[in-house]
């Protein structure tokens, strides 16, 4: 079982690394989508800006403050969706959400494979109160993608 322990440690390392040194921190200069995310239970708050062009997420950035899990999730999420077609980003959201919330272990296994690096958050399933920290950036992403422009700027709350 040493391998499982090492893997868990690796996952924790990735989350700690992205929590401490978040990638894509800051507003996107050419942003044409914006949304705010709020998780009052933990105090996580982020503003997500996107540049969507030609049906793709051309650029993504976030600002705000929160716990290590929410910051790491926003960091890994922005890293992953940059350059992806919008439909593929939406598909990742569905898989990510299912990985963290679904009871179906077999489906979660499939999702973990499809999610690649994002699967480091699979362990958060065991801490229901932290699930909202990890999914907040993704709910905010969906709201931003659904917004018509930056003036719409919807706010997502996990409560
Ligand atoms: Zn949190």
CA of 89 to the centre of ligand 1 (A): 22
Per-residue pLDDT of the chain (159 residues; tens, 9 = 90+): 445 667 677 788 899 999 999 999 999 999 999 999 999 999 999 999 999 999 999 999 999 999 999 999 999 999 999 999 999 999 999 999 999 987 776 777 778 888 988 999 988 888 888 999 999 999 999 999 998 778 778 889 886
CA-closest candidate to residue 145, choices 42, 58, 43: 58
Which residues touch 87 (CB under 8 Å, ≥6 apart)?
A: 55
**How many A from CA of 68 to the centre of ligand 1?**
7
* Cα 27 to chain centroid, rounded: 16
**What's the pTM?**
0.90
Ligand 1 centroid – CA 139 distance (Å): 14
- Ligand 1: distance of its center to the CA of 66 in Å? 6
Instruction: Tell me how far the alpha carbon of residue 133 lies from the centroid of ligand 1, in angstroms.
Output: 4
């Amino acid at each position: 079982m040493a391998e499982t322990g090492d893997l868990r440690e690796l996952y924790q390392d990735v989350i700690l690394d992205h929590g401490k040194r978040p990638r894509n921190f800051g507003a996107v200069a050419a942003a044409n989508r914006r949304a705010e995310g709020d998780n009052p239970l933990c105090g996580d708050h982020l503003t997500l800006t996107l540049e969507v062009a030609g049906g793709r997420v051309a650029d993504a950035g976030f600002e705000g403050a929160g716990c290590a899990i929410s910051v790491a999730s926003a960091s890994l999420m922005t890293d992953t969706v940059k350059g992806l077609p919008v439909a593929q980003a939406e598909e990742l959201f569905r898989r990510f959400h299912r990985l963290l919330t679904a009871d179906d272990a077999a489906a979660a296994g499939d999702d973990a494979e499809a999610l690649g690096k994002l699967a480091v958050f699979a362990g958060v399933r065991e801490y229901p109160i932290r699930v909202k920290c990890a999914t907040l950036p993704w709910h905010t992403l969906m709201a931003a993608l659904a917004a018509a422009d930056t003036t719409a700027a919807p706010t997502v709350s996990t409560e």
